[in-house]
Structure 1
Amino acid sequence: MTSQTSSTSCCTPAGTCGTGARADVHGGITTVYKVTGMTCGHCEGSISQEVSALAGVTSVKAVAATGLVTVTSTGTLDDEAVRAAVDEAGYELAGRA
Protein backbone atom coordinates (compact mmCIF):
# COMPACT_ATOMS: atom_id res chain seq x y z
CA MET A 1 0.00 0.00 0.00
CA THR A 2 1.40 3.35 -1.03
CA SER A 3 0.51 6.56 0.71
CA GLN A 4 1.12 10.02 -0.62
CA THR A 5 3.13 12.11 1.84
CA SER A 6 3.34 15.31 -0.14
CA SER A 7 0.54 17.66 -1.10
CA THR A 8 2.38 18.74 -4.25
CA SER A 9 2.78 16.76 -7.41
CA CYS A 10 4.39 17.20 -10.78
CA CYS A 11 1.28 15.70 -12.39
CA THR A 12 -1.61 17.80 -13.60
CA PRO A 13 -5.27 16.83 -13.35
CA ALA A 14 -5.10 16.19 -17.12
CA GLY A 15 -2.51 13.47 -16.50
CA THR A 16 0.56 15.22 -17.88
CA CYS A 17 3.74 15.43 -15.86
CA GLY A 18 6.43 18.04 -15.53
CA THR A 19 8.20 20.21 -13.02
CA GLY A 20 8.97 23.25 -15.17
CA ALA A 21 7.16 26.56 -15.29
CA ARG A 22 3.65 26.42 -16.70
CA ALA A 23 2.08 28.75 -19.17
CA ASP A 24 -1.35 27.77 -17.84
CA VAL A 25 -3.40 30.59 -16.44
CA HIS A 26 -4.73 29.85 -12.97
CA GLY A 27 -7.46 32.16 -11.90
CA GLY A 28 -8.46 35.16 -13.92
CA ILE A 29 -11.92 36.50 -14.52
CA THR A 30 -14.50 34.25 -16.16
CA THR A 31 -17.50 35.75 -17.90
CA VAL A 32 -20.25 33.79 -19.67
CA TYR A 33 -22.08 35.33 -22.61
CA LYS A 34 -25.18 34.22 -24.51
CA VAL A 35 -24.69 34.24 -28.28
CA THR A 36 -27.42 33.59 -30.85
CA GLY A 37 -26.97 31.91 -34.20
CA MET A 38 -24.37 29.24 -33.34
CA THR A 39 -25.29 25.86 -34.79
CA CYS A 40 -22.07 23.87 -35.23
CA GLY A 41 -18.37 23.48 -34.50
CA HIS A 42 -17.47 25.95 -37.24
CA CYS A 43 -19.58 28.57 -35.47
CA GLU A 44 -17.80 27.79 -32.19
CA GLY A 45 -14.41 28.15 -33.86
CA SER A 46 -15.26 31.44 -35.56
CA ILE A 47 -16.44 33.03 -32.34
CA SER A 48 -13.53 31.63 -30.34
CA GLN A 49 -11.03 33.00 -32.86
CA GLU A 50 -12.47 36.52 -32.84
CA VAL A 51 -12.95 36.77 -29.06
CA SER A 52 -9.50 35.25 -28.39
CA ALA A 53 -7.95 38.17 -30.26
CA LEU A 54 -9.18 40.65 -27.62
CA ALA A 55 -6.54 42.03 -25.28
CA GLY A 56 -6.39 40.16 -21.98
CA VAL A 57 -8.36 37.10 -23.12
CA THR A 58 -6.65 33.89 -22.03
CA SER A 59 -9.25 31.31 -23.08
CA VAL A 60 -12.57 31.03 -24.88
CA LYS A 61 -15.00 28.13 -24.99
CA ALA A 62 -18.02 28.44 -27.27
CA VAL A 63 -20.72 25.77 -27.14
CA ALA A 64 -23.25 25.82 -29.98
CA ALA A 65 -25.67 23.46 -28.21
CA THR A 66 -26.19 25.92 -25.36
CA GLY A 67 -25.38 29.19 -27.11
CA LEU A 68 -22.93 30.01 -24.32
CA VAL A 69 -19.45 31.47 -24.71
CA THR A 70 -17.22 31.30 -21.64
CA VAL A 71 -14.36 33.79 -21.69
CA THR A 72 -11.49 33.86 -19.20
CA SER A 73 -9.39 37.00 -19.07
CA THR A 74 -6.72 38.69 -17.01
CA GLY A 75 -9.00 41.64 -16.28
CA THR A 76 -12.52 42.90 -16.75
CA LEU A 77 -13.60 42.78 -20.38
CA ASP A 78 -15.42 45.57 -22.17
CA ASP A 79 -18.76 44.02 -23.17
CA GLU A 80 -18.88 46.24 -26.25
CA ALA A 81 -15.51 44.89 -27.41
CA VAL A 82 -16.83 41.35 -26.95
CA ARG A 83 -19.99 42.32 -28.84
CA ALA A 84 -17.91 43.69 -31.72
CA ALA A 85 -15.81 40.50 -31.85
CA VAL A 86 -18.93 38.32 -31.90
CA ASP A 87 -20.46 40.55 -34.60
CA GLU A 88 -17.24 40.27 -36.64
CA ALA A 89 -17.61 36.48 -36.47
CA GLY A 90 -21.14 36.84 -37.85
CA TYR A 91 -23.19 36.19 -34.73
CA GLU A 92 -25.13 38.24 -32.19
CA LEU A 93 -24.24 38.75 -28.56
CA ALA A 94 -27.47 38.60 -26.54
CA GLY A 95 -25.71 39.65 -23.33
CA ARG A 96 -24.20 38.07 -20.27
CA ALA A 97 -25.66 34.71 -19.30
Structure 2
Amino acid sequence: MGMTNEYQVTGMSCGHCESAVRGEVGKLEGVEQIEVSAADGRLVIVSTGALDDAAVLAAVDEAGYEATRI
Protein backbone atom coordinates (compact mmCIF):
# COMPACT_ATOMS: atom_id res chain seq x y z
CA MET A 1 0.00 0.00 0.00
CA GLY A 2 1.30 3.45 -0.95
CA MET A 3 1.79 6.60 1.06
CA THR A 4 -0.87 9.30 0.79
CA ASN A 5 -0.12 13.04 0.77
CA GLU A 6 -2.79 15.72 0.63
CA TYR A 7 -2.45 19.34 -0.48
CA GLN A 8 -4.66 22.42 -0.70
CA VAL A 9 -4.33 24.04 -4.13
CA THR A 10 -5.45 27.60 -4.82
CA GLY A 11 -6.42 29.06 -8.17
CA MET A 12 -7.97 26.01 -9.85
CA SER A 13 -11.41 26.54 -11.36
CA CYS A 14 -12.02 23.89 -14.03
CA GLY A 15 -11.12 20.54 -15.56
CA HIS A 16 -8.25 22.10 -17.50
CA CYS A 17 -6.76 23.27 -14.21
CA GLU A 18 -7.05 19.75 -12.80
CA SER A 19 -5.38 18.31 -15.92
CA ALA A 20 -2.50 20.79 -15.70
CA VAL A 21 -1.80 19.88 -12.07
CA ARG A 22 -2.21 16.15 -12.76
CA GLY A 23 0.22 16.38 -15.68
CA GLU A 24 2.99 18.10 -13.73
CA VAL A 25 2.63 16.06 -10.53
CA GLY A 26 2.49 12.87 -12.60
CA LYS A 27 6.06 13.50 -13.73
CA LEU A 28 7.36 13.00 -10.18
CA GLU A 29 9.08 9.71 -9.43
CA GLY A 30 7.08 7.28 -7.32
CA VAL A 31 3.63 8.77 -7.99
CA GLU A 32 1.08 5.97 -8.35
CA GLN A 33 -2.25 7.80 -8.23
CA ILE A 34 -3.39 11.43 -8.38
CA GLU A 35 -6.77 12.85 -7.46
CA VAL A 36 -7.37 16.53 -8.20
CA SER A 37 -10.54 18.49 -7.45
CA ALA A 38 -10.88 22.08 -8.58
CA ALA A 39 -14.18 22.35 -6.70
CA ASP A 40 -12.55 21.39 -3.39
CA GLY A 41 -9.11 22.79 -4.16
CA ARG A 42 -7.61 19.44 -3.19
CA LEU A 43 -4.75 17.34 -4.49
CA VAL A 44 -4.28 13.82 -3.15
CA ILE A 45 -1.24 11.84 -4.21
CA VAL A 46 -0.60 8.16 -3.55
CA SER A 47 3.07 7.25 -3.96
CA THR A 48 5.32 4.23 -3.61
CA GLY A 49 7.41 6.02 -0.98
CA ALA A 50 7.92 9.38 0.66
CA LEU A 51 7.57 12.33 -1.70
CA ASP A 52 9.65 15.47 -1.45
CA ASP A 53 7.15 18.20 -0.55
CA ALA A 54 9.30 20.81 -2.27
CA ALA A 55 9.14 18.81 -5.51
CA VAL A 56 5.34 18.53 -5.28
CA LEU A 57 4.96 22.25 -4.57
CA ALA A 58 7.30 23.06 -7.48
CA ALA A 59 5.27 20.81 -9.81
CA VAL A 60 2.02 22.53 -8.82
CA ASP A 61 3.73 25.91 -9.27
CA GLU A 62 4.90 24.82 -12.75
CA ALA A 63 1.24 24.10 -13.58
CA GLY A 64 0.43 27.69 -12.56
CA TYR A 65 -1.07 27.18 -9.10
CA GLU A 66 -0.05 27.36 -5.45
CA ALA A 67 -0.24 24.50 -2.99
CA THR A 68 0.25 23.87 0.71
CA ARG A 69 0.47 20.51 2.46
CA ILE A 70 -2.54 19.61 4.59
Q: Secondary structure at the match of 2:28?
A: coil
1:96, distance to aligned residue in structure 2 (A):
1.5
Please report the TM-score for the alignment, with normalisation by the length of structure 1.
0.70
- Percent of aligned positions that are identical: 54
Selected match of 2:42 from 43, 68, 77: 68
Please report the TM-score for the alignment, with normalisation by the length of structure 2.
0.96
How many residue pairs get matched? 70
1:65-95 CA distance string (max 9 Å, x none): 11000000000110000011001100011x1
The structure carrying a bigger helix percent of its residues is 2
Map of 1:1-97 to 2, 5 A cutoff? 27-93=1-67, 95-97=68-70
Q: Secondary structure at the match of 1:59?
A: strand
Q: Secondary structure at the match of 1:70?
A: strand
The structure carrying a bigger strand percent of its residues is 2
Q: Secondary structure at the match of 1:44?
A: helix
**Highest RCO, 1 vs 2 (Cα 8 Å, sep ≥ 6):** 2
Question: In structure 2, how many angstroms separate the alpha carbons of the residues matched to 1:71 and 1:60?
Answer: 5
Gaps of 5+ in 2: none
Q: Secondary structure at the match of 1:75?
A: coil
Gaps of 5+ in 1: 1-26
Which protein is bigger by CA-based radius of gyration?
A: 1
Query: RMSD across aligned C-alpha pairs, in angstroms?
Result: 0.6
Greater than 4 Å deviation, 4+ residue runs: none
1:44, distance to aligned residue in structure 2 (A):
0.4
